Chains A and B, each alone.
Chain A
Amino acid sequence: MSAALIIDILLWGSVAAVGLIALRRGRPVITASLREGTMDFINIVPRVALGVIGSGYIAAVIPQEIITGWLGPDSGWLGVLTATIAGAATPGGPVVGFSIGAVALKAGGGAPQVIAYVIAWALFAFQRLLLWEIPFMPARFVWFRAAVSLPFPFLAAAIAMAIGRP
């Protein structure tokens, strides 16, 4: 069984489980939440379409060598800072971010720098904040969370340097 299938089963299983609880609370609860969920879905589809179909183009025009060239093992804390900024600026989906990270590792990038890059990209890639997080959450929370997350790529790089891994 593929992991994608397992995740789908978990996801829909969770939906069924909470749906069942809602059903037991009575008809108004289930109809209200079904309507709410469906309306959200309809509202979000155009954004998802733009994001998924568009990020392929954005990723295709980003010169990956430029990003990976800055992350060498001798780049030290400046490299970590560069990696953090590059992570925040990397557009596109998981394939793009991890691929650039993998290329950087293969091209001789330092592990702490690549860790900082991947974590910065996971925590506050600008395109993701704008396109995915803002539509779903209060904007105030999104910016607050991103700001609070700023130190953590550096902390992760420091831990990686301290333990000498990966």
Chain B
Amino acid sequence: MSELPLREPAPADDAAEAEPRPGHIRKPVGWSMIVIGVLVAVSAVLVWRRDGIDGVLEILTHDLALFGGILPRVLAGCLLGAFIAEILPHEKVSRSLGPRSGLKGLLIGTAFGAILPGGPFTAYPVASALLTVGADFGATIAMVVSWTLIGYGRAVAWELPIMGTDFTLWRIVISLPLPVLAGALGRFVYVRMYPKAAP
């Protein structure tokens, strides 16, 4: 784990995301977006009433800059997901990350999530691609949880500078077993919830 405290928004965590999923063109507007849109509008009005138009503009300028910085990474994430979905051999993926991949599959998912570069704009599209090509819920959960909790992107870019080294390192140490446990629990629950889907 490198310790350079950088302040740049590196993997803008909540910032951007991409989504490549073969054959899944999404509607640009869905109910989740409407909920968020309403929340944002209400919040913006509250900010305006509290801080005036200057407060609103200040947040807007800052977030627009963030948005501009993130866009190329969103594109990279989309392309990465699309390529991975296209080139990964389905058979191999379902063997090493499928329902019967055992502990090894969970460990592979964990390792993959930990080394995956980029932010959510990479992780979710790639996780989605893995599901498409034959990984099971368990291994994919291990990957997503590992990316969130022990991936270096968020930790280096945000957690180290804000929370400090001591907290961050211990938080990561404590998190180490969690992806495998989450994946195992996911598998355990999944085969009982959807007995027919299990092999």
Query: Which residues from chain A sit less than 8 Å from chain B, CB to CB?
Result: 2-4, 7-8, 10-15, 18-19, 21-22, 25, 29, 32-34, 36-41, 43-58, 60-61, 91-95, 98-99, 101-102, 105, 111, 114-115, 118-119, 122-123, 125, 127-128, 130-138, 141, 144-145, 147-149, 151-152, 155-156, 159-160, 163, 165-166
Contact = CB atoms under 8 A, between A and B. Distances in A.
Grouping DSSP codes into helix (H, G, I), strand (E, B) and loop, the A interface class, with mixed when no group exceeds half, is helix
Contacts of B40: 50, 53-55, 57-58
Name which of A102, A118, A148 has the most chain B CB atoms within 10 A of its CB.
Answer: A148
Grouping DSSP codes into helix (H, G, I), strand (E, B) and loop, the B interface class, with mixed when no group exceeds half, is helix
Nearest to B184: A148
A81 B57 CA distance: 37
Contacts of B2: 3
A87 to B, nearest CB: 12
Interface of B: 2, 4, 6, 8-22, 25-30, 32-33, 35-37, 39-40, 43-44, 46-47, 50, 55-56, 59-60, 62-64, 66-67, 70-87, 117-118, 120-122, 124-125, 127-128, 131, 137, 140-141, 144-145, 148-149, 153-154, 156-159, 162-164, 166-167, 169-171, 173-175, 178, 181-182, 185-186, 189-190
Contact of A119 (B35, B175, B185): B175
Contacts of B175: 119, 156
A21 B174 contact: no
Given A53-B67, A101-B163, A7 B32 contact: no
28 contacts: A3-B2, A10-B117, A19-B83, A21-B87, A34-B79, A36-B20, A36-B22, A41-B18, A41-B75, A44-B19, A44-B78, A48-B74, A49-B67, A52-B66, A58-B40, A60-B43, A60-B47, A93-B15, A94-B13, A94-B158, A98-B158, A119-B175, A132-B124, A145-B137, A145-B141, A148-B182, A160-B170, A166-B171
B26 A21 contact: no
B149 A119 contact: yes
A50 B32 CA distance: 11
A37 B78 contact: yes
Contacts of A61: 43, 46-47, 50
